[in-house]
Amino acid sequence: MNETPLLHNMSAPATTVISHRAGQYGSRVVFALPEAKGPLTPAGVLAWLDGRPWRSRFRAGVRKAEAALRARLDAHARTLALPPAAVVSECAGKGDREEHDLLTVLTVLAKSSGRVYLRDKEPNLAAIRPERRVVLVIPPEWGAS
Amino acid sequence: MTQNGDSSLLARLGVIGMEAIEPVVLGALIGGEPLLLIGPHGTGKSYLLARVAAALGLEWRHYNASLLNYDDLVGYPLPDGQGGLRFVRTPASIWDAQAVFLDEISRCRPDLQNKLFPIVHERRVQGILLERLVYRWAAMNPPARDDEPDADAYRGSEPLDPALADRFAFVAEVPTWEGLGERQQEQVILRSGEDVSPAAAAQLLAAIESGRALLPEVDRALRTQLATYVRLVTAVLRHAGIECSPRRAATLLRNVVVVHAARLVREPAADPGDSACVALGSSLPHRAAGLPVDGLKVLAAHREAWKAAGLAPHDPRRFLLLEPDPFRRALRAVGAESLPPVEVSGVVADALASLPAGARHALAAALFESGGAARLVAAVAEQCAQLYAVVAAPQDVHESVASGSMRLGVWKRVVVTLARHDPAAPETPLVSNLLSGLFAAGELAVPEDVERALGAWRRGRETARELAA
């Protein structure tokens, strides 16, 4: 059986396809957690950082661990060679630098939303998740950390 | 702030519905300041002034400036036998007047307006001081404006020469008939032509004397704050397109003092800020000169200036108030370390809302490149981050558009514009991302928007560099 070939629809307006990719500005640094060695609870994260189980000098508890972790992250944030505010990019590229220091990764994750990293923001411990990855755009003025 | 009809001095004189301008009228009487009333015909301008003159028992002259000859003012000149001239005084001449009312001043011939100038300004005629003259009043219909052809406009009412208008300390708009309440309208109808009651006249005289007695104290208490207020409010008005002369600034200070004294007579707890607002509203000569004055802008300027005048001299909010450019204001706010993040963020958010595409991206870029974004509250920092991401992150455009469409025309303009940029220049990726991002977001509606956005971006970048230097 012969099939009638489809005819071009002459009533459809002609179209032009625009395709363009603009350039990268500054540099990007990727912050992602390595595979966790235990639960990502505040006490678990502190234990991961210190290489030994975390115990409060006082009565141990979740709140104490949270406060200790927040204090650690805040203190570390002030030492980072990152701008005090940086845009979070949705994607990473081939040449992007990856940060491997665990405390730095934890700090950036806890102080970044989906759009922005703010050094002086209260650390959000719920943002420390194993699958999460943050890519910061660093303007040329600040160089790469 | 306003007085009700029963307690109004003017209402007791039979002048109904003038409560809004009563503090101004009383202030002008207390200070002996020149007063110009503007309003449609039949709104009681002449009636008000005639009642006041009658209540105060003044020897006054009511001239219709549209019909006036100079001889009517000065009398007839005769040689004095010593090589000079003397003027034969007539009942209508100005020499012994305590008050002069120049009605229809906007219909007066320009050459005569020039001769009225020294009477209003210096109480002089032919260089001779009019020693008895205290009160100088005038009235006019709203001047016709070339840019507002209106069948109801007063075509014979010409804008006053700005220099003459500036000589009137107070320029008050009288309430219109439509602006009166039903009861007030009926009172106007019922009480028209009543004699001025001696009690009402005595009350007006007593109020003027009390106000004059209060003047030194009010002046002493408010002078410093008012000087700051006047400096700030005139600067803010200038940014809003309402220019005030240095003379007007000095006049405004005096006006606030006399209006506050007038209000204190009637209301011992009167707030000086409200007095300043009332005085400012009737201290702008622009309306008489045919220049539009946006009442909301004046009110906003008053509020900002009054608030700032109460701040410490080096408070950064003062210079923020005086900065008309939202881009600069935002960067200055970020640089003012004593401002709390919430206030900084408010200024930045306002700037982002008012700046056009390109400029707001340049502001966001400046904030992230300088680290200033760290001074913002999270919500505003996120807003800036979203804008900065447009220029700093690679923007992909992949779209099928109809051939010959406006959208394709816009894209072609983007391509042509980007082709003019040096690929190696550091700013090129930012510009490329900006235009691609704006195109993808549908913010470039016509080809000219490409140049507009790029121009706004460049001006913003230059401003940021200038302020960072």
Q: Decide if A116 and B395 are in contact by the 8 Å CB cutoff.
A: no
Residue of A68, A75, A76, A84 lying closest to A125 (CA atoms): A68
Q: Are the C-beta atoms of A118 and B378 separated by less than 8 Å?
A: yes
Nearest C-alpha of chain A: how many angstroms from B420?
Answer: 15
Query: How far is the CA of B35 from the CAs of A130, B11, B58, B136, B194, in angstroms?
Result: 77, 19, 16, 6, 24
B419 contacts: CB under 8 Å, gap ≥ 6 = none
The CA distance from A92 to the nearest CA of chain B, in Å, is: 10
With a cut of 90, say whether residue B334 has pLDDT above it. yes
- In chain A, what residues touch B397 (CB-CB under 8 Å)? 18-22
Would you say A135 and A30 are in contact if contact means Cβ atoms under 8 Å apart?
A: yes
List, for residues B371-380, the tens digit of each pLDDT value. Answer: 999 999 999 9
Same domain assignment for residues B332 and B275: no
Asked if residue B1 is part of any domain, the answer here is no
Q: Which residues of B touch A91 (CB under 8 A)?
A: 393
pLDDT at B67 over 50: yes
> What's the alpha-carbon Rg for chain A, to the nearest Å?
23
Matching residue, tokens 């991002």: B437
B204 and B269 together in one domain? yes
Q: Which of B193, B179, B64, B57 is nearest to B116 (CA)?
A: B64
Contact: A21, B381; criterion CB under 8 Å: no
Type of residue found at A58: F
Choose one of B297, B314, B343: the last residue of a domain.
B297
Of A16, A87, A140, the CB nearest to B408: A16
Q: Greater confidence, B89 or B236?
A: B236
Please indicate, yes or no, whether residues B391 and B259 belong to a single structural domain of this protein: no
Residues B289 and B387 reside in one and the same domain: no
Residue B308 in any domain: the answer is no
| Residue type present at position B447 | P
A120 touches chain B (CB under 8 A): yes
What is the structure's pLDDT at A1? 45
Residue B89 pLDDT: 81
CA distance B464 to chain A (A): 14
End of a domain among B297, B315, B336?
B297
Closest CB to A15: pick one of B385, B400, B429: B400
Position A10 scores a pLDDT of 64
Of B280, B297, B314, which residue sits at a domain end? Answer: B297
Least Cα separation, residue A6 to chain B (angstroms): 22
Residue B415 clears pLDDT 60, i.e. is over it: yes
pLDDT confidence of residue B91: 82
Q: Is B230 a member of any domain?
A: yes
- With cut-offs at 50, 70 and 90, classify the pLDDT of residue A141: confident
Report yes or no on B31 lying in a domain: yes
The answer to whether A14 contacts B402, with C-beta atoms less than 8 Å apart, is: yes
Average pLDDT value for residue range B46-69: 91
Exposed, middle or buried by CB within 10 Å (0-12, 13-18, 19+), for B231?
A: middle
Name the nearest CA neighbour of A140 among B360, B365, B434.
Answer: B365
A27 and chain B: CB distance < 8 Å anywhere?
no
Cα R_g (chain B), whole angstroms: 29
Question: CB–CB of A115 and B385 under 8 A?
Answer: yes
> Does A83 contact chain B (CB < 8 Å)?
yes
Residue B48 has pLDDT above 80, yes or no: yes
CA atoms within 13 A on the CB side of B227: 6
Residue in chain A nearest B433 by alpha carbon: A22
Distance of alpha carbon B395 from alpha carbon B430, whole angstroms = 10
Q: Is residue B145 over pLDDT 90? A: no
Taking Cα atoms as reference points, which of A78, A73, A81 lies closest to residue A107? A73
Judge whether B86 lies within some domain.
Answer: yes
Query: Would the CB atoms of B403 and A13 count as touching at under 8 Å?
Result: yes
Please give the DSSP secondary-structure letter assigned to residue B233: H
Tell me the pLDDT of chain B averaged across its residues: 89
Same domain, B284 and B411: no
Q: What is the mean pLDDT of residues A134-138?
A: 93
Interface test with A, best of B368, B380, B386 (most A CBs within 10 A): B368
- Judgement on whether residues B357 and B266 belong to the same structural domain of the protein: no
Mutate to test the interface with B, among A11, A15, A16 (most CBs of B within 10 A): A16
How many Cβ contacts (< 8 angstroms) between chains A and B?
120
Is position B304 within any domain? no
Sequential DSSP letters for B287-307: GTTT----HHHHHHHHHHHHH
> Domain for residue B320, yes or no?
no
In chain B, how many domains are there?
2
A48-57, A98-107, B171-180, B283-292: segment of lowest average pLDDT: A48-57
B369–A90 C-beta distance less than 8 A: no
Check whether residue B443 and residue B342 sit in a common domain: yes
State the pLDDT at residue B114: 84
pLDDT given at position A51: 83
What pLDDT is attached to residue A56?
62
Nearest CA in chain B to A24: B394
The percent of residues in chain B predicted with pLDDT above 90, rounded, is 60
Contact between chains at A25 and B400 (C-beta distance less than 8 A)? no
What's the average model confidence in pLDDT over B294-318?
Answer: 88
Q: What is the pTM of this model?
A: 0.67
- Same domain, residue pair B133 and B78: yes
Region A119-135: mean pLDDT is 92
Can you give the pLDDT at residue A143? 64
Least confident of A34-48, B193-207, B429-443: A34-48
Report the pLDDT value the prediction gives residue B3, as an integer from 0 to 100.
41
What are B434's two structure tokens?
A: 């900006």
| Cα–Cα distances in angstroms (integers) from residue B102 to residues B63, B119, B154, in the given order | 5, 10, 18
| Whether residue B439 sits in one domain with residue B356 | yes
DSSP string across B144-163: P-TTS--TTSBTT-PPPPHH
Is residue A39's pLDDT more than 90? no
Q: Which residue has the higher pLDDT, A91 or B345?
A: B345
Partner B contacted by A115 (CB < 8 A): yes
Chain B partners within 8 Å of A24 (Cβ): 393-394, 429
Question: Residue A51 contacts by C-beta under 8 Å, 6 or more apart in sequence?
Answer: none
Cβ-based interface (< 8 Å): residues of B facing A? 365, 367-374, 376, 378, 381-382, 384-386, 388-389, 391-404, 408, 411, 426, 428-430, 432-433, 436-437
Q: Which of A84-98, B182-196, B205-219, B329-343 has the lowest mean pLDDT?
A: B182-196
Q: Alpha-carbon distance B34 to B94, whole Å?
A: 16
Q: Which residue has the tokens 């208008």?
A: B165
Q: Do B208 and B119 sit in the same domain of this protein?
A: yes
Q: B423 or A105: whose pLDDT is higher? A: A105
Residue B386, pLDDT above cutoff 60: yes
CA-to-CA distance for B461 and B369, rounded, in angstroms? 11
Spatial CA neighbour of B360 closest among B351, B371, B369: B351
Beta carbons of B389 and A89 less than 8 Å apart: yes
**Nearest to B120, CA basis, from B160, B155, B69:** B160
Residues B25 and B172 in one domain: yes
The first and second tokens of residue B104, run together, are 């229809």
DSSP secondary structure code for residue A137 in this structure: E
Tell me which residue range forms the domain holding B33: 9-297
Q: Is residue B245 part of a domain?
A: yes
pLDDT level of residue B1 (50, 70, 90 thresholds): very low
- Please give the average per-residue pLDDT across B129-143, as a whole number: 92
- Same domain assignment for residues B259 and B331: no
Domain CATH number, residue B174:
3.40.50.300
Segment among B143-147, B279-283, B426-430 with least mean pLDDT: B143-147
Task: Answer whether A83 sits within 8 Å of B374, measured CB to CB.
Answer: yes
B80-89, B299-308, B455-464: range with lowest mean pLDDT: B80-89
Would you place residue A3 in the very low, low, confident or very high pLDDT band (cuts 50, 70, 90)? Answer: low
Please check the confidence at residue B210 and state whether its pLDDT lies above 50: yes
pLDDT at residue B361 is higher than 80: yes
